[in-house]
Structure 1
Amino acid sequence: MVQAQATATKELPVIKKGDAGGSVRLLQNILISQGYLNTDLRTGNFLDYTENAVRSFQKDFSLTSDGIVGAKTWDVLGNVLWS
């Protein structure tokens, strides 16, 4: 069985502090599953705590630690989630 992986550039938007919605909630769920974010902080709003979790994740995976979730960060998040 082949598992589909979302391609960040086509299916997932660039998200950053101040954004809200389903993509932010997806991001938060992934960060929670990887231990970067507390479950109490799953709000669907990209606030300081989500930005800090993203920066930590990016740093740990040798990405540019800018707190912005673009194609490269989505790709690594997907790879970590599916591995």
Structure 2
Amino acid sequence: MAPTTSKELPVLKKGDTGSSVKLLQNILIALDYLDSDSPTTNFQDQTDEAVRNFQEENDLKVDGIVGAKTWDKLGTVLWD
């Protein structure tokens, strides 16, 4: 992961595209929230659902938006 803090990562939501979306999808796959073996660069319905499930199970605001708090929790859970 190139960025060192969640503040360096972009806020992501449904409809976004790019390498940060692919990073997010890889993390969600590693945590078994996204069922895919080939992440894309598109934040679509499956990614939105996975983010919302992650947020709900980790006592975060369930809005499908990956901001600093969601990035922080993803990192904590991934490395725990």
Q: Which residue of 2 aligns with 1:33?
A: 30
Higher-Rg structure is: 1
Identity among equivalent positions (%) equals 62
Q: How far has the Cα of 1:80 moved from its partner? A: 0.9
User: What is the root-mean-square deviation of aligned Cα atoms in Å?
Assistant: 1.4
TM-score by length of 1: 0.88
| Structure 1: distance between partners of 2:20 and 2:4 | 12
**Structure 1: any 5+ residue segments left out of the alignment?**
none
Q: Does 1:55 align with 2:52?
A: yes
Following TM superposition, the consecutive aligned residue runs of length 4 or more in structure 1 with deviations greater than 4 angstroms are none
TM-score by length of 2: 0.91
SS in 1 for 2:40: coil
Q: How far has the Cα of 1:6 moved from its partner? A: 2.7
Residue correspondences, number: 78
Q: Does 1:8 align with 2:26?
A: no
**Structure 2: any 5+ residue segments left out of the alignment?**
none
